[in-house]
Homo-oligomer: A and B are copies of this chain.
Amino acid sequence: MPDLYWEDFEPGQRIELGSRTVTEEEIVEFGRAWDPQPFHVDPLAAKDSVFGGLIASGWHTGAMWMRLYVENVLGAGSRGSPGIEELRWLAPVRPGDTLTGSLTVLETTPSERDPTRGTVRIRAEMTNGDGIVVMRMTSRGHFGRRSPV
């Protein structure tokens, strides 16, 4: 389990989050549960859609990135997230795609109210096997401090 705290991040730092391959079964399962549009759940209907075939829900792509982020970065230091500044779905994610997650630290800010934590602003990316960035996101996370002021 990772064990990163606010002090462990610095602007410019890049962290590789590893990869995950997405199957048609998983795309359909996620789609049925949360985003049951034909191009996420029905391979035949998806073929006739503007996407030309089944694609993953954007929320699924975000969740896949989150899973990699938790596995590699979030441990006892994580205090949740206030939200996302911007998220772009830049290219379709299709069955069999292997997605690689990464993040770059943009900014670290100590909390003004709470001396035991700080905020880390990151740029997150998911890239497919062709090197195309399929999702890009700027978001913030709260982290506990190893050494509260």
**Smallest beta-carbon distance A46→chain B, Å:** 11
In the assembled complex, A39 has its CB within 8 A of some CB on chain B: yes
CA–CA, A100 to B37, complex, Å? 20
Q: Which residues of B contact A70 (CB under 8 A)?
A: 35-37
Interface residues on A, range: 20 to 34
CA–CA, A79 to B57, complex, Å? 12
Choose among B35, B67, B79, B89 the residue that contacts A35 (Cβ–Cβ < 8 A): B67
CB of A57 within 8 A of CB of B50, answer: no
CB of A33 within 8 A of CB of B79, answer: no
Within 8 A of B (CB), among A119-137: none
CA–CA, A84 to B88, complex, Å? 6
Q: Which residues of B contact A86 (CB under 8 A)?
A: 83-86
0/1 per residue, A14-37, Cβ < 8 Å to B? Answer: 000000000000000000011111
CA–CA, A33 to B58, complex, Å? 16
Q: Other than the known A34-B67, A37-B78, what 10 A-B pairs have Cβ atoms closer than 8 Å?
A: A33-B63, A33-B67, A35-B63, A39-B80, A55-B80, A58-B83, A59-B62, A59-B63, A63-B63, A82-B89
Closest 4 CB pairs of A and B: A34-B63, A83-B88, A84-B87, A59-B63
